[in-house]
Amino acid sequence: MKSDFLKHIAYDSVVFGYSDGQLKVLIMKYMNTNLYALPGGFVKMKENLNDAVVKGLKERTGLNNIFLEQFYTFGDLKRYKPEIMETILKANGIKLRRNDWMMDRFISIAYYALINFHEVDPKPGFLSESCDWYDINKLPKLMLDHKMIITKALQTLRESLGKKPVGKNLLPKFFTMNDLQKTYEVILGEKMHRGTFQRKMLNMGILVRHEKKFSGGAHKAPYLYSFD
């Protein structure tokens, strides 16, 4: 019902994962349409914004403890295209009332999330037929300004690399320095000098070194690390 939700407010989540040397993004496809979008939703009148986002991500990923950060608000006039929502609802047999609240203009509060790709079993929502990982460089055509939202999220993530242990949320508990470097290179979209990267990470004081990972001769085995 209209009274259950805040008017004109929505949220969208850019969910990043890392696998096989690629940065992934979680994308939904709306049922009976060719419309692709970020996971998102609305906020109830008696619900905290962050609680709504966390609940929505749990429904899509099955995870509770997710690194989540609000990074921008999108409210340009050009993102108001009621015909898109009308297409989604009609494709699912939902009749629209006159002046339906879902046809109004919405400002979207955007979050980005970092999760372990291998811990997630994506689940589609009520109006979607799929929820899948896509390589960030091979995204389908997204509706509204969702491609712009991803671009802004990636920019924010890149700016956070020197301030936060980003790899902690994307990698398994134990990893090699090479694994960590590859993750950073994929996010930045550029190669990094091995020695410089290793010194920088060790000087940050956020890593714990463990026994070597044996893969042959002991002298070739790289050390394993975890975040402190």
Burial readout 40-77 (b: 16 or more C-beta within 10 A, e: otherwise): bbbbeeeeeeeebbbebbeebbebeebebeebbebeee
Dmax (CA) for the chain in angstroms is 73
* Nearest-10 Cα torsion for 161, 22, 39, 79: 80
What pLDDT, on a 0 to 100 scale, did the predictor assign at position 215? 59
Q: Are 133 and 23 in contact (CB under 8 A)?
A: no
What sign results for the dihedral spanned by CA atoms 80, 123, 175, 204?
positive
**Which pLDDT belongs to residue 1?**
46
Q: Does domain 2-160 have CATH number 3.20.20.140?
A: no
Residue ranges, comma separated, of all CATH 3.90.79.10 domains in the chain are 2-160
Could you please state the CATH topology (level 3) that the domain comprising 173-227 is classified under.
Answer: Arc Repressor Mutant, subunit A (1.10.10)
Where along the chain do the CATH 1.10.10.10 domains lie? 173-227
Task: Write down the pLDDT at residue 211.
Answer: 78
pLDDT in tens, the chain (228 residues): 456 889 899 999 999 999 988 999 999 999 999 999 999 999 999 999 999 999 999 999 998 888 999 999 999 999 999 999 999 999 988 887 767 888 889 999 999 999 999 999 899 988 999 999 999 999 999 999 999 999 999 999 999 887 888 888 899 999 999 999 999 999 999 999 999 999 998 988 889 998 776 555 555 678 899 988
